[in-house]
Amino acid sequence: MMQRAPHSPMAGTGWLVGWRLTFGGEDLGWEGALATIVEDPDSQVFVVLYDVTDDEPLLDRWEGSELGLHSKIRLRVQTLEGSVLAWLYVLDAYEGGLPSARYLGVVADAAEAAGAPADYVADLRVRPCDGIGPTNGG
C-alpha cells in the first residue's frame, strides 16, 4: 500500500464477516488468478483498513477500475472498536483459477505483517497455487 497509496496511513484491522477470500480472473493477471472476495455466510476475511483520502484516484488506477477489472463496494468491517463502513475492490470476473506461489506468498506475508492470527496465515500459506516458488515469503 505504500506504493499504491503513499498518503494513506493504516487505520486498523478487522474482519469481513460473511465473506470468503478467493481467487479469480486467471486470464487477467500476470501471475495467475487475482485475490477477491465473495459472499459466504460461514466465512470471514481478515482485512487491513486504511485512511484513504487523496490517494483514491491512484488506487482506482492501480486496481484497473477504468479497465473494468474491479468494482468498488462498501461493506461493514468488524473491528475491536465496533463496526466500520469501508470500501473494497471486488474483481469483476468469475471465481476460479490458481494464484502464483509468489502472489499467494505476498498475500500471506501481508496478512502476517498486519497481525492476522497465526492459523489464518498458515491456512493462506497452504492454499493451492500455480507455479514454482515459496509461499512463505522466502
For residue 66, give the C-alpha cell.
Answer: 477504468
Please tell me which residue, 133 or 38, carries the higher pLDDT value.
38
The yes-or-no verdict on residue 119 having pLDDT over 80 is yes
39-84 confidence digits (pLDDT tens): 999 999 999 887 777 756 666 665 555 665 778 888 999 999 999 9
Report the binding-site residues: 103
User: Is 112 designated active site?
Assistant: no
Please tell me which residue, 2 or 26, carries the higher pLDDT value.
26
**How many whole angstroms separate alpha carbon 6 and alpha carbon 55?**
7
Could you tell me the domains of the chain? Answer: 10-125 (3.10.490.10)
**How many whole angstroms separate alpha carbon 1 and alpha carbon 3?**
5
Report the binding-site residues for substrate: 103
User: pTM for the complete prediction?
Assistant: 0.80
What is 1-68 written as a DSSP string? Answer: -TTT-TT--EEEEEEEEEEEEEEE-TTTSTTB-EEEEEEEEEEEEEEEEE--STTHHHHHHHTTGGGT
Give the active site residue among 39, 63, 66, 81: 63
54-63 confidence digits (pLDDT tens): 756 666 665 5
Quick one: average pLDDT of 100-108?
93
For residue 117, give the C-alpha cell.
Answer: 492470527
**How many whole angstroms separate alpha carbon 73 and alpha carbon 70?**
10
